[in-house]
Structure 1
């Protein structure tokens, strides 16, 4: 199928499909005139790529995972790699939650200082 048909069938833009190709996530065959032709399995592959991007994975991480999902079935290696990504996201969520708590503390302190008329500058000494 041509790139326009793949875009229509997957909901991905032609531009996104070209980006996937640049990242080696999607490899079309080429006609003698250079036109892209995709096999039927590209529909599922694009669906998986889009799902992994939506989950926050980088193109490099997706590229590492795709060989473990080539036939549309999850392998142990794929599940292990997905669990690693989930753990990475959990750690990042924890860091962001801590940052938000610190920011809340600064906001609360500044708000209290505004109410009492005190300076927001830290004490020097």
Structure 2
């Protein structure tokens, strides 16, 4: 299929599909006329890429996981090195969430104190 059809079937822009190709996430071949063509499983690969990006994974990690992915989700049981990478990424995300929660609490405290002064003054 060509890029327009893949874009239509996945809801992903042409530009983003080309970016996925540049990052080594999505493979393509070229016709003699220079048009990109994608394999029949490309829509599934694009869905996997989108899901992994939504999970917060960087493209360098996704590039390593995709060869293990078959169907809608990666099957990593036979890839302990990838499981370790995902555990490390999850730990980093959890740490960022803790920092965000602390930031939220500090800002909420400032707002509460300021608003309390405004109603008392």
Whether TM-score is above 0.5 comes out as: yes
Q: Conserved in 2, the CA contact under 8 Å of 1:25 and 1:63?
A: yes
Q: Which residue of 2 aligns with 1:15?
A: 15
CA RMSD of aligned residues (A): 2.1
Residue correspondences, number: 116
- Give the unaligned 5+ runs of structure 1: 118-125
Distance 1:92 1:56 in 2: 11
Distance 1:98 1:18 in 2: 38
Q: Does 2:58 correspond to 1:87?
A: no
Distance 2:6 2:82 in 1: 25
- Give the TM-score, by structure 1 length: 0.76
Deviations 1:18-54 (A, max 9, x none): 1211222112011222111111122221110011112
Deviation at 1:65, TM superposition (A): 2.2
Structure 1 runs, 4 residues or longer, greater than 3 Å off: 76-80, 112-117
Distance 1:8 1:78 in 2: 31
Q: Which residue of 1 aligns with 2:38?
A: 38
Q: Greater CA radius of gyration, 1 or 2?
A: 1
- Give the TM-score, by structure 2 length: 0.78
- Give the unaligned 5+ runs of structure 2: none
Q: Conserved in 2, the CA contact under 8 Å of 1:10 and 1:46?
A: yes
Q: 1:99 to 1:105 in 2, by over 3 A?
A: same
Q: Which residue of 2 aligns with 1:104?
A: 108
Distance 2:107 2:11 in 1: 39
